[in-house]
Structure 1
C-alpha cells in the first residue's frame, strides 16, 4: 500500500503552471497490479502536469523495456516501449470518467494517483502478438520472400452440374452427388 503512494500527486499545493515529475517503473511497480501480461520492466516515466483554474493536463512520456512471455515459445524476452499519452482532468460536481483520457474530479480533490494510468498506457502499448525478436525476424523474412506467397484457388463446383438440367438445386450451393441421385427419384 505504501508503494502505490509514491505515485500520488498533491493537487492542492500546486500553482497554476507546469510541473514535472519523474518515476522509475521497475518490477516492484508491476507487482502492484494483479496481472500476468507484463512480467516486469525497466521504464522511466516523465509526467508534465499543466495546471489551470479549470483543467489539469497530464502529458505522459514513458520509455524503456518490459519483460514479456513469447506467445510462440513461452520464453521470456525484453520488449522496448515508448509511449506518449495525454490525460485531462477537469473539475466538476462529481467524480466521473467522461472519456478514455478525460476524467472529472471534484474541486476538493487533494491527490490524484497516476499509477493505474501509467500501467494502462504501458499495457496498451504491448503488442497483441508477443513474439521474441528471433521470431519477429523469421516472420519478416517470410513476408519479404516473394516465393512464400501462395495462390489460393476456390471452386464451388463444376460447370457440368449446371448442364445436367437440374435447375432445382438449392440456392445454398452445389448438391452432393448422392443427394442428386435421390432427387431423380421424384
Structure 2
C-alpha cells in the first residue's frame, strides 16, 4: 500500500536545473484521502521540477483514468483524465499558500510532498455532473433542446397595456444606442 511519503521530492540537495519525476497513482493513492467521489483509478503523473535560487517551478502532466459513480444510474465507470498544471513555489519566512498556483516555503524545507496537489488537480479536472458514457449523448441532446432564447423586443403578445408610446418618451442619450447594431 502506498503512503504519502511515496509522493515526496527531496528538494534540499537538488542542484539548480530541471529534474524529472514520475508518480504512479492507483486505488491505494485515493484511499489515502478521506473522500467518496473518486473510487479508484490508474494514472501516471510526470512532474518536471525546475529549481533555481529563488523559485521552484513544477509542471504536472497527469494522464490516465479514475473510477467514478454515475449520478444518474449509480453505476461505476471510468472517466479519462488528462491534466496539465503548473505550480510555483518561492522561498519566504513561513509555509503558506499565496495563490492557487503560487506557494511559499521556508528555505529550511527539506522535502516537498506533492500528493495533495496531485489529488486536487485530478479532482478539479472532473466534470460537475458525473454521467456514465452511455448517458453523455442523451445529455447533449437534452442540452440542445433546452436553449433559452431571449428577445427584448415586444413579441406581439399584449397584456392589455399599450406600450407603443414608450418609444416617444425615451431619453435621447438612449436613442444613439439603437443605431449600434
1:95 CA displacement: 1.0
TM-score by length of 2: 0.80
Partners of 2:2 and 2:28 lie apart in 1 by: 12
SS in 1 for 2:134: helix
Q: Report the counterpart of residue 99 of structure 2 in structure 1.
A: 99
Partners of 1:119 and 1:140 lie apart in 2 by: 28
1:143 CA displacement: 4.7
- The answer as to whether partners of 2:95 and 2:104 remain within 8 angstroms in 1 is yes
1:36 is the counterpart of 2:45: no
Q: Report the counterpart of residue 126 of structure 1 in structure 2.
A: 126
Give ranges in structure 2 of 5+ residues lacking alignment: 150-154, 163-181
Q: Report the counterpart of residue 90 of structure 2 in structure 1.
A: 90
1:137 CA displacement: 1.5
SS in 1 for 2:109: coil
Assess, with a 3 A threshold, how the Cα gap between structure 1 residues 137 and 11 changes in structure 2: closer, same or farther. Answer: same
Give ranges in structure 1 of 5+ residues lacking alignment: 164-186
Q: What is the total number of aligned residue pairs between the two structures?
A: 158
1:150 CA displacement: 8.1
- The answer as to whether partners of 2:2 and 2:28 remain within 8 angstroms in 1 is no
Moved over 4 A (4+): 148-152
Q: Which has the larger radius of gyration?
A: 1
TM-score by length of 1: 0.78
Partners of 2:71 and 2:28 lie apart in 1 by: 24
Assess, with a 3 A threshold, how the Cα gap between structure 1 residues 157 and 69 changes in structure 2: closer, same or farther. Answer: farther
CA RMSD of aligned residues (A): 2.5
Partners of 2:158 and 2:52 lie apart in 1 by: 70
Partners of 1:24 and 1:110 lie apart in 2 by: 22
- The answer as to whether partners of 2:58 and 2:87 remain within 8 angstroms in 1 is yes
